[in-house]
Structure 1
Amino acid sequence: MRKTLLPSRRTAAPTTFRSARDALCTDAATGSDIQGDELRPSPRRAALTPLRAFREGRRFLSGNRMLITRVFLPFAAGFYLSYLFRTINALVAAPLTSDLGLAAGDLGLLTSAFFLTFAAAQIPVGVLLDRYGPRRVQSALLSAAAAGAALFAVSDDFFLLLAARALMGLGVAGALNAGLKALVVWFPNDQLPLLNGFMVMLGALGAVTATLPADWLLASIGWRALFVLFAAVTVGCAILIYVVVPETAKVTTGPAAASLKEVYTDPRFWRVVPLSAATIGTAWALHGLWAAQWLTDVEGLNRTAMVWHLFVMAVAVSLGALLWGVAADGLRRRDIGPQAVLGVVAAVFVAAQLALILRWPLSSYLLWAIIAAVGAGTILGYAILAEQFPKALAGRANALLNFFHIGAAFAVQIATGLVLQHWSQDAGRYPEIAYQTAFAINLGLQILAGIWFGLPWVFGIVKRTFRASSKVEPTCKIRQVSRASISGCVPPSLNGRFP
Structure 2
Amino acid sequence: MDMNKQKMLTKLKRHQWPMYIIVILAYMLTLFHRMTPGIMGPDLMKDLQLTAITFGFMGLAYTWVYAIAQAPVGTLMDKIGARKGITALLILGGIGGFVFAGAQGFTMLVIGRVILALAVSGFLIGGAKITSAWFTSAQYPLLWGLFMGLGALGSVVGTAPLGQLMDTVGWRPAMVFVAIFSFVLAVVAFLFLRDKPGEKGLLTPDELAGIAPIATDDAANAEQAGIGTVLKSPLLWLVFLLSLGGNSHAQCFGGMWEGVYLANVFGFEKPMIGSIMVWYAWGIVVGCFLSGVIVKALGSRKTMFYGVILVALNWIWLMTQPGTIGVTELKVFNFFLGGLQMFVISTTFIFCREAFPVSYLGTTMGFLNTSVWVVAAGVGQQIWGLIIQSVSRGVTPYPVSAFTACMWFNLILSIIAIGCAWILMTNKKYSAASQTSTDEEKTA
Change beyond 3 A, Cα 1:271–1:443: farther
SS at match of 2:38: helix
1:480 maps to none
Are the structure 2 counterparts of residues 257 and 331 from structure 1 closer, same or farther at C-alpha, using a change threshold of 3 Å? same
**Would you say how many aligned residue pairs link Structure 1 and Structure 2?**
391
The amino acid across from 2:409 in the alignment is L
Distance in 2 (alpha carbons) for counterparts of 1:124 and 1:256: 16
The answer on whether the counterparts of 2:261 and 2:403 sit within 8 Å (CA) in structure 1 is no
Which of 110, 115, 123 pairs up with 1:175?
123
How far apart are the structure 1 equivalents of 2:296 and 2:353? 13
Cα 1:241–1:149, aligned 2, differ >3 Å: closer, same or farther? Answer: same
Letter in 2 for 1:109: F
Structure 1 residues 258-273: aligned runs within 5 Å: 258-273=225-240
> Contact 1:95 / 1:223 at 8 angstroms: preserved in 2?
yes
In structure 2, relative to structure 1, the CA distance for the partners of 1:279 and 1:457 (3 Å cut) is closer
Task: Give the equivalent residue in structure 2 for 1:367.
Answer: 333
Amino acid at match of 1:192: Y
Which amino acid counterpart does residue 343 of structure 1 have in structure 2? V
User: Structure 1 vs Structure 2: percent identity of aligned residues?
Assistant: 22
Give the Cα–Cα distance (whole angstroms) in 2 for the partners of residues 282 and 176 of structure 1.
21
The change in CA–CA distance for 1:323 and 1:432 in structure 2 (over 3 A counts) is farther
For 2:121, what is the secondary structure of its paired residue?
coil
Q: Is the 8 A contact 1:285 1:413 kept in 2?
A: yes
- Taking a change above 3 Å as real, the CA distance of residues 64 and 147 of structure 1, as seen in their structure-2 partners, is same
Report how far residue 196 of structure 1 moved. 1.3
TM-score by length of 1: 0.66
Question: Hey, what does 2:437 align to over in structure 1?
Answer: none
Give the RMSD, CA atoms, in angstroms: 4.0
CA contact (8 A) 1:278 1:408 kept: no
Distance 1:175 1:360, change over 3 A: same
Q: Does 1:344 align with 2:309?
A: yes
Aligned pair 1:447/2:414, yes or no? no
Compared with structure 1, are the counterparts of its residues 330 and 259 closer, same or farther at alpha carbon in structure 2 (3 Å cutoff)? same
How many Å separate the matches in 1 of 2:195 and 2:228? 30
1:154 to 2:112 alignment: no
Q: 1:382 aligns with which of 325, 349, 364?
A: 349
TM-superposed CA distance for 1:355, in Å, is 6.5
The match for 1:274 is 241
Structure 2 SS opposite 1:120: helix
Counterparts of 1:72 and 1:134 in 2: how far apart (Å)? 12
**How far apart, CA to CA, are the structure 1 residues paired with 2:223 and 2:68?**
16
Residue 275 (structure 2) pairs with residue 327 (structure 1): no
Residue 121 of structure 1, CA deviation:
2.2
2:208 is aligned to none
Distance 1:422 1:290, change over 3 A: closer
Higher relative contact order (CA 8 A, sep 6+): 2
1:193–1:340 CA distance, 2 compared to 1 (3 A)? closer
For 2:81, the equivalent position in structure 1 comes to: 133
- Unaligned runs of 5+ residues in structure 1 are 1-61, 424-429, 460-499
1:411 has 2:378 as partner: yes
CA shift, 1:312, in A, is 3.4
Does 436-445 or 345-354 show the bigger shift? 436-445
Partner of 2:429: none
Deviation at 1:414, TM superposition (A): 6.2
Is 1:113 the counterpart of 2:61? The answer is: yes
The farther-off stretch of 364-373 and 165-174 is 364-373
| Equivalent position SS for 2:138 | helix
2:211 is aligned with 1:245:
no
Seen in structure 2, the aligned counterparts of structure 1 residues 192 and 268 have a Cα distance that, compared at 3 Å, is closer
1:358 to 312, 316, 323: 323
1:235-273 alpha-carbon deviations (Å, 9 max, x no partner): 222222123334646699966785533432344433442
The SS at the match of 2:349 is helix
Q: Does the residue aligned with 2:325 lie in a helix, a strand or coil?
A: coil
Alignment of 1:15-414 (within 5 A): 66-97=14-45, 102=50, 106-246=54-194, 248=196, 258-284=225-251, 286-288=253-255, 290-291=257-258, 307-309=274-276, 311-332=278-299, 337-351=302-316, 354=319, 357-363=322-328, 364-376=330-342, 377-385=344-352, 389=356, 394-411=361-378
Q: What CA deviation, in whole Å up to 9, does each residue of 1:289-331 have, x standing for no partner?
A: 5555666676666665555545433322111112233334434
Assess if the C-alpha contact under 8 Å between 1:142 and 1:237 holds in 2.
yes
Distance 1:390 1:246, change over 3 A: closer
Structure 2: 5+ residue stretches without partners: 1-9, 200-218, 424-444
Q: Which moved more, 1:174-183 or 1:245-254?
A: 245-254
User: What TM-score comes out, normalization by structure 2 length?
Assistant: 0.73
| Alignment match, 2:213 | none
Q: 1:411 to 1:348 in 2, by over 3 A?
A: same
Which of structures 1 and 2 has the bigger CA Rg? 1
Partner SS, residue 337 of structure 1 = helix
From the superposition, tell whether residues 300 and 235 of structure 1 become closer, same or farther in structure 2 (CA, over 3 Å). Answer: farther
Q: Cα distance, 1:130 vs. partner? A: 2.4
Cα distance per residue 1:341-364 (max 9 Å; x no partner): 242133035236536843422423
Give distance in 2, aligned partners of 1:166 and 1:435.
36
Shift of 1:447: 2.4
Q: Distance in 2 between matches of 1:149 and 1:106?
A: 19
